Amino acid sequence: DISVMEYAKSKDVEIHISTQCNITNIEAIRFYSRYADVMVLARELNIAQMGTITRAIREQNITGPSGNLVQIEVFVHGALCMAVSGKCYISLDNFNASANRGACQQPCRRAYTVKDADNQIELEIDNKYIMSPKDLMTIPIIDRLLDAGVTVLKIEGRGRSAEYVKTVTKTYQEAVKAWQNNQFSKEKIEKWTAELNKVYNRGFWGGYYLGERTGEWSERYGSQASQKKVYVGKVVNFFNQLKVAEIKIETHAVKTGDTILIIGPTTGAYETQVNEIRVELNQVEKAVKGENCSIAVDETLRRGDKVYLLVNAGHKLFQVQQNG
């Protein structure tokens, strides 16, 4: 809404151009440059087209309100909308909850069948999730995006967990630093991809950046992460000088060698391996439901922080929690 942008500009409110503005060419950049310093390109562009736009910005000296060259931002990771530039009205139509106002109910993620309205003959399609794209993941091509002149990386993570935010931002930060230091490699890409697979995802694909014309669709509802978290208890005390957390085990046992995740409003997401467990000062191999145990950590934790056990998606503990 240009009138809203004009009003915001008159009040010195910073404006950021969304992908929903569908910026696909340099003339659109030139038009919006009177309002914003940073613009998110349409997700349907390929890398070569991005490079053409960033090169034209430099050659034509297109600047934003700050007087600096316009910066280009692109989506690099997270959920994708099946609609062009994310302009979808299914949620608004079905639930009176507008995706354009951040209230999407995601009916596109559900399973659907396609039938002829007249004779009720069902059409055979690839799968039931015909409107649910896989998640975007650009780690293998992040160097090419940066080489194309992209300066801001956008991660879609609305409603995601603390460990999702930590893992994804850390991984992309490492990838950017590797690119800056000329250390970007196939081995590192494999390592980063494995890390990203541990947290919420619907399966991955590289979007349209390599020139693909059609999307790739989810194979099932919900996350396909290789790693899941199972709630085990909470921190009831923390001894700062010793860096020892006292944890009340409320569900499943924790044993030495396990990997745990501790989440709290101030703590954020802290992951560590359990090297030693003590119950009533005695060293034990595991702590079970109802016990308070002490575990050494490297960071400051807080009372009330929740403790989770990290397990493979096929682990019986996760299956029990899922079924229960």
Instruction: Give the 3-state secondary structure of the chain.
Output: CHHHHHHHHHCCCCEEECHHHCECCHHHHHHHCCCEEEEEECCCCCHHHHHHHHHHHHHCCCECCCCCECEEEEEEEECCCCCHHHCCCHHHHHHCCCHHHCCCCCHHHCCCCCECCCCCCECCCCCCCCCCECEEECHHHHHHHHHCCCCEEEECCCCCCHHHHHHHHHHHHHHHHHHHCCCCCHHHHHHHHHHHHCCCCCCEECCCCCCCCCCCECCCCCCCCCEEEEEEEEEEEEECCCCEEEEEECCCCEECCCEEEEEECCCEEEEEECCCEEECCEEECEECCCCEEEEECCCCCCCCCEEEEEEECCCHHHHHHHHC
Q: What is the pLDDT of residues 22-48, one digit of tens each?
A: 999 999 999 999 999 999 999 889 999
Q: What is the pLDDT of residues 168-202, one digit of tens each?
A: 999 999 999 999 999 999 999 999 999 999 998 88
Which domains does the chain possess? Answer: 2-80+134-205 (no CATH), 81-132 (no CATH), 227-323 (2.40.30.10)
pLDDT at 74: 96
Q: Would you place residue 320 in the very low, low, confident or very high pLDDT band (cuts 50, 70, 90)?
A: very low
Whether pLDDT at 242 is above 70? yes
What is the percent of the chain with per-residue pLDDT over 90, rounded to a whole number?
63
